[in-house]
Structure 1
Amino acid sequence: MLKLMKLELKKQRLGWYWKGALIAIFSVLMLMGILPSLDPELEDAFGSFEEVFTAMSTFVRVIFVIFAAVLIGKLIIQEYNNKTMSVMFTYPIPRKKLIMAKLLLIMGITFITILISNIVIFILFLVLNSFMHLIPGFPTKELLIHQGFDILIQGLSAVGISMVPLYFGMRKKSVSATIVSAIIIISLISSNNGGFSLSSFIVIPILVGVIGLLIAYLSFRNVEKVDVI
């Protein structure tokens, strides 16, 4: 399986993804660190490190769930539409294994980029804050540990959530349907209305994540018996 994932990674040109990840990191840092210092109305938008870290991790999760939908569209939906998937299914490798390798690659990339992006943004924000004093003091050890666990759990749940759009994409064999459904789903989970957010109840993103993993399994459960259209 690992060998198939490596081959898939070599086959796909993902330079656009890594460039997009860097742009996303810079954009979140700009939004959370630099813009408040330039706009007086936003200067007091965040009163504590906890609020800043929570907002940052939310932005990162939203961005990379959408990026995962783009990967699903490129690695799976588009290959069905271009008929290249039918060529792959002629290989002496079980179809389930081929599809699973693609999905595991997408999930792995999503999880790793969410973790790394959060860590990089947090570190850069702390460095920026030491010069600009956006928030007084320094985050406590307890807060950093708690935030680390939260990033890990939210990252795992985001991996599952990123699989939900696969259902909509496979039904219509549409890349746009995959991406649009991802935007709608992650927006509903991460939206903040008067301080209330579904993602604040950790059981909800975890539940949606489990549903997403189930959808991923169901999407290729019968792939050995179904003809590629």
Structure 2
Amino acid sequence: MKIVYLEFQLQSQNPDMEECFKNAFELTNSEILQSQFDTALSGSTTVLALIQQNQLWTANVGDSRAILCRNNNGWKSIPISRDHKPSDEAEKQIIIQAGGRIQCQRDFFGNNVGPERVWLSYIDAPGLAMTRSMGDKIGAEAGVSSIPEVFQFTLSTNDKFLVIASDGVWEYLSNDDVMNIIIPYYEKDELDQAGEKLMMEAINSWKNNSPARDDITFIIIQLNN
């Protein structure tokens, strides 16, 4: 992420936070596409959070996710980002209007296999399972965008911690699953152990459901009330 640019913009008087994030994502994506890396079929999801006093902003592309965990006479997990999936009707229309195609992969007999994916109209590529990302040059030709979705929230003393994680964590674990794994360790002020436990649970969820495994990366952020 273009941290220097973002910091500069945030230091200005009354910055437009959504515009700051969108410009930072655009600059970052431009640098990725112009780098020495082959981005034709390579890219990444992105999710970030920014806290200023009691205001929280999130920005994301793809299906990495952030949740806020609140305890107000009972625990509740609150999604603070939105997954950008081809199955989402609004996201699907963006791809179709850009000339891309949405459909599942097909097996030898023509049966649908797995989730809906993004393809070019004239060839079975790139087959992305998300509608927004960084990089993914061929995906961009099908309408895949690096424009983030930005949300703003007001924090309260009931908000205890954030979890920001890549899609490998969320594939087989729900928001509540992740929160409930962390709570016992949060209550004992043992977030390092919470991280170890969440990592093992995410790994085991893949072992129990798939021969493959996606990237598992996350951060748990305790909120100082």
| Structure showing greater relative contact order (alpha-carbon pairs closer than 8 Å, 6 or more residues apart) | 1
| TM-score relative to the length of structure 1 | 0.31
| TM-score relative to the length of structure 2 | 0.32
Of Structure 1 and Structure 2, the greater helix share is in 1
Of Structure 1 and Structure 2, the greater strand share is in 2
